[in-house]
Amino acid sequence: MKIVFANSAWVTAAEWLILRGGSWRSVRLRVRYGLFFHPLAGPVLVDTGYTPEALTGEGRSRMLRLYGALLRPELNAAEQVLPVLKRFGLSPDDVRTVIVTHFHADHMSGLSLFRNARFVASEAAWARVKARTPRQNIRHGVFTELFPADFEARLDRPSAKRRIEARGSVPGGADLFGDGSAIAVDLPGHADGQFGLFFAGLERPLLYAVDVQWLLAALTRDRTPGFPATLIAEDAAAIEPTSAMLRGFLAAGGEVMLCHDPKPTAYDLKTSEREAG
């Protein structure tokens, strides 16, 4: 199964904010999203990254404009989701499945582009979005204007899928396509309902761990950031147990990939294409 990740944008942050004991130097973080090709489901997106709909589009709310002004993401035009799909001969209407790992803007701002897609997302997190006021949702980092109007009608619930149990360091979760190719693994801590994807069928098993940490070094060197980074976490107490699970997976020979780590990986789009050539 072919898997690639693209970088939708860069966001700059001070290292000490995202790595315990880090310096004051600036780190240019990626904002990844994924694309893989399932033999039956066809092209599947993993999030959408940042898109102009969230950062430069007309009609954005005042709070979404403020969000963009504070974080100042720099869009990567060449690796926006539509140009990347075009590289593979695809249009947005060819995508029938978008996996939404959680509801922050840098992961789901382009959902409205995919008219034919089902959305695989946490139904529990969605229920809480509906129950909260707009102000409460913003406090949780959720901008409801980014959800398509028919999001709920197109919601594909992981809880309805077959459950695969954890085995030692191998994480368990929902078998999204019924063949063990992509397992949705709960990753509590950073965001309400966040889950990652475990691809077991690769030569080296891969766990896309989304935003458990911003930097892989925070896991490999056990330098998980504390205050004030924990202020923006949904469940700060869950960050370390989730991180420990990932460290165990790495120690057992697995590979962990994060959304924002700046170092290129074998799955990043340009690297993959260069190696394929």
273 band by pLDDT with thresholds 50, 70 and 90: low
16-50: pLDDT as tens digits? 999 999 999 999 999 999 999 999 999 999 999 99
76-99: pLDDT as tens digits? 999 999 999 999 999 999 999 999
Q: What value does the CA radius of gyration of the chain take, rounded to a whole number of Å?
A: 18
CB-side neighbour CA atoms (13 Å) of 1: 25
274 band by pLDDT with thresholds 50, 70 and 90: very low
> According to the model, what pLDDT value does residue 1 have?
84
In 3D space, the residue among 241, 242, 276, 220 whose CA is nearest the CA of residue 102 turns out to be 242
* DSSP structural state of residue 94: G
271 band by pLDDT with thresholds 50, 70 and 90: low
Tell me what the pLDDT averaged over the chain comes to: 94
Report domain extents, the chain.
3-267
In 3D space, the residue among 182, 181, 185, 179 whose CA is nearest the CA of residue 165 turns out to be 185
Beta bridge partners of 7: 32
> According to the model, what pLDDT value does residue 276 have?
41
269 band by pLDDT with thresholds 50, 70 and 90: very high
CB-CB contact of 64 with 116 (8 Å): no
154-169: pLDDT as tens digits? 999 999 999 999 998 8
Count of residues making up the chain: 277
Percent of the chain with pLDDT over 70: 97
- Token pair of 35, please? 């694309």
Q: Record the pTM.
A: 0.95
> According to the model, what pLDDT value does residue 277 have?
36
- Domain at 3-267: CATH architecture: 4-Layer Sandwich (3.60)
